[in-house]
Amino acid sequence: MVGVTAARGLIGVLLFVAVSASLLPLVETNVWWVRYLDFPRVQFAIALLILTVLLIAIGGATRVWGLVALVFSMVALGYHAYKLIPYTPLVAPLAAAELGCVEGERLELLVANVQQSNETSEELFRIVEEVDPDVFIVLETDPWWDAALADMTGRFPYSAQFVPEGEDTGAFGMHLLSSYKLIGVETMFYFGVLLRKRYSDHHRELGAAWWSRGAGRRSAPASAALLKPADDDARCTSDDGRT
């Protein structure tokens, strides 16, 4: 009997942790470890399902605390299901892939996460030379990478970027480099972030606001952007991953 009680208590604690980790991302914050909990949804859902079944199997649901735990477990499972269902066969694809893409109507996109602590650009630039993309998106950039990517102005005449500085930004940097003109570009933060502009001595709260920085480049603020091809032709998606 003592063993069963201990097992119920252990499962209850684990269920509390799993539910808390599942629902904590609902808090509107940019704290990195809270936002990290947005990613392992499948793992959390599996853990919640297993723990819920175990709690019922050993009679935990017959107690008030067990019923409360089950209710919160169902809420957390429902939340994960709501977030995950768009990626399942139950939902039709948002965009149908084309079997082929006519030469001249392709838009090649290269995305690279450079890791903010990395200060080696030669290998990345070699890959860019090999791939020769129309659009190049660089994630986790900082002032060092901002200076390094300035060397690519000739290849990508249009650019947009958000460059975090100091420890008060709550965000990673992002650079969008393009061979095509960028239209209607905005910097948008999920919950808003405090950013110190390098040309200003004060702080400003940025939500869905936009900003641009002039550094001798034809640039626009980073994030959601429309790419305007020179000939305005429609673009398509091919089965080899090119768009």
Does 43 map to a domain? yes
Would you list the DSSP string of 85-117? GGGSTTS--SSPPPS---TTS---EEEEE--TT
Q: Give the range of the structural domain holding residue 41, as residue numbers without chain letter.
A: 2-87
128 and 52 within one domain: no
Do 123 and 164 lie in one domain? The reply is yes
**Residues 61, 117 share a domain:** no
Task: Find, among 22, 82, 69, 13, the residue nearest to 46 by Cα.
Answer: 22
Pair (113, 222) in one structural domain: yes
- Quote the number of domains for the chain: 2
Judgement on whether residues 124 and 209 belong to the same structural domain of the protein: yes
Q: Give the pLDDT confidence of 181-220 residue by residue, as tens digits.
A: 998 888 776 655 544 433 233 333 333 333 333 333 333 3
Regarding whether 76 and 150 lie in a shared domain, the answer is no
The lowest-confidence range among 97-106, 156-165, 215-224 is 215-224
Domain check: are 118 and 224 in the same one?
Answer: yes
Pairing status of strand 224-228 against strand 181-186: antiparallel
pLDDT digits (tens, 9 = 90+) for 30-80: 788 898 999 999 999 999 999 999 999 988 888 898 899 999 999 999 999
Tokens of 193: 């972030």
Q: In whole numbers, what is the pLDDT of the chain averaged over residues?
A: 77
Is there a single domain that holds both residue 78 and residue 167? no
Q: Is pTM, for the whole model, over 0.85?
A: no
